[in-house]
Amino acid sequence: MIELRNRAVTSWCQIFVSCLLLTLCESAIKAQEIPILVYHRFNSAIPGLTTVRTSTLESQLEWFEDHHYQILPLRTVIDKLRIIGDRPGTQMVAITIDDGHRSVYTEMFPLILKHHIPVTLFVYPSAISKASYALTWEQIREMKESGLVDVQSHTLWHPNFREERARLSNTEYEAFVDKQLTTSRLVLSSRVGGPIDSLAWPFGIHDSYLEDAAQRAGYRAAFAFEGGPARVGCNMLAIPRIPVSDNDTGTKFGQLMMDSRRNGREK
């Protein structure tokens, strides 16, 4: 009888220890993840496939405040991701915006100032002060001078590298990639100042060749378009990000943040 009781106690202890270890491992995994959100454009009234209404954006920023999230500069996140064994914490997030649409200045920038949050803007300079939908250099410089907006590269003119690879010879493609990566850095550095050492892959397209080319061109980090939260020790030339839509509000936005962590662990 005593032996059976001892076995039962031992079994319960083993179950308790297993559950404790599982909880600790879960916490450790979460502590090494940082969601990096990606937006494109904004509108005061009309949402779209990649357009978030201004009111939705503000509700998302308020959600972070209500849930005690710290919005970090992307450069700080990059530094944290490089340190194996670092434990950034579960209440951290970074915000990025791709393309350089003028609504970043007219709709988002006032909220950046109001909530005093850091963001990183990835732009392709061929459109700036030229395309009707794009920001101007003056607007970009004004945002950067606020100290809250960092400006980084989205290549020179947002090409589809997969299509270019199919139509160009090897030599032509190598020159094309080099121009997209290098010239963008030079233009941005001369127009708004540097350092320009981060890159967002257009359409999220990247491969080992492009990653090597980015490293040769002087980028220390490059960002994909999907893939869940960024994790300590991840590929620094294909750091995952989380696309945000106008539908992500309230509890659904909270669920997006929770799901992003779960998806990140499953990948």
Q: Which two tokens stand for residue 50?
A: 């990649």
pLDDT at 50 over 60: yes
What would the two tokens of residue 122 be?
A: 């990835």
Segment (H or E) for 177: helix 170-192
Please report, rounded to a whole number, the percentage of residues in the chain having pLDDT higher than 70.
83
Same domain, 197 and 99: yes
Domain count, the chain: 2
Which pLDDT does position 6 carry in this prediction?
Answer: 52
Domain that includes residue 23, residue range: 1-31
CATH code of the domain containing 117: 3.20.20.370
150 and 93 in a single domain? The answer is yes
Of the ranges 87-91, 112-116, 133-137, which one carries the lowest mean pLDDT score? 87-91
Q: Which pLDDT value is given to residue 22?
A: 33
pLDDT, one tens digit per residue, over 194-219 is 899 999 999 999 999 999 999 999 99
Q: Say what the pLDDT of residue 86 is.
A: 56
Residue 114 predicted with pLDDT over 70: yes
pLDDT in tens, 17-31: 333 323 323 333 344
pLDDT confidence band for 193 (50 / 70 / 90): very high
Residues 141 and 50 in one domain: yes
At 258 the pLDDT is 78
Q: Which of 24-33, 170-179, 241-250 has the lowest mean pLDDT?
A: 24-33
Residue 103: Cβ-neighbour burial (10 angstroms; 0-12, 13-18, 19+): buried
Among candidate residues 35, 37, 184, the one with its CA nearest the CA of residue 96 = 37
Confidence check: pLDDT of 69 > 50: yes
Note whether 132 and 259 are same-domain residues: yes
Beta strands in the chain (DSSP E): 33-34, 36-39, 41-43, 51-53, 70-71, 92-99, 119-123, 149-153, 198-200, 221-223, 230-231, 242-243
Confidence label for 2 from pLDDT (cuts 50, 70 and 90): low
pLDDT of residue 27: 38
Q: Same domain for 17 and 120?
A: no
246 and 114 co-located in one domain: yes
Residue 56 and residue 170 share a domain: yes
Of 70-79, 169-178, 225-234, which range is least confident?
A: 225-234
Q: Which of the four pLDDT bands, split at 50, 70 and 90, describes residue 241?
A: very high
Q: How confident is the prediction for the chain on average, in pLDDT?
A: 87
115 plus 15 within the same structural domain: no
**Do 9 and 82 sit in the same domain of this protein?**
no
Q: For residue 53, what pLDDT is reported? A: 97
Residues 153 and 200 in one domain: yes
- In sequence order, what are the residues at sequence separation of 6 or more whose Cβ sits closer than 8 angstroms to the Cβ of residue 169? none
The reported pLDDT for the residue numbered 83 is 77
What does residue 231 show for φ and ψ, rounded to 5 degrees?
A: -120, 145
Gap between the Cα atoms of 19 and 10, Å rounded: 14
Q: Are strands 242-243 and 36-39 parallel, antiparallel or unpaired?
A: parallel
Do residues 95 and 203 share a domain? yes
25 with 88, same domain: the answer is no
